[in-house]
Amino acid sequence: MTKNKNLKLVICQCFTNRALCYINLNRFIEALSDADFVISKLDDSNVRAYHRRGISHMRIDNFEDALRDLHKVKELDPAYSNIEKDIRECMSKYD
């Protein structure tokens, strides 16, 4: 792995980890911002970033955006932990 690729990976991990911390602190706007930064600027196939953005959208009642991101997680990694449960939870709140 080249130095730049490794650095990009570490930055992605930092931002997705911080997004998870923000989620745990109920700071969903900040979590959205960190996850969106990873997706839009660093890695548009980062499963954790999509998951954390989807969960954050769900927590602030943006159910359509949440479902879009959660379905993207399932598309990128069908075996991602608890993704089916998260999609069902979001759909039940959306109805």
pLDDT of residue 42: 96
What is the average per-residue pLDDT within 15-23?
A: 98
| pTM of structure | 0.94
Per-residue confidence (pLDDT) for residue 94, from 0 to 100: 85
Residues 36-89: pLDDT tens digits?
999 999 999 999 999 999 999 999 999 999 999 999 999 999 999 999 999 999
Q: How much is the average pLDDT of 18-33?
A: 98
Alpha helices in 1-95 (DSSP H): 3-24, 28-37, 47-59, 63-76, 83-94
Round to whole Å and give the CA distance between 60 and 35: 15
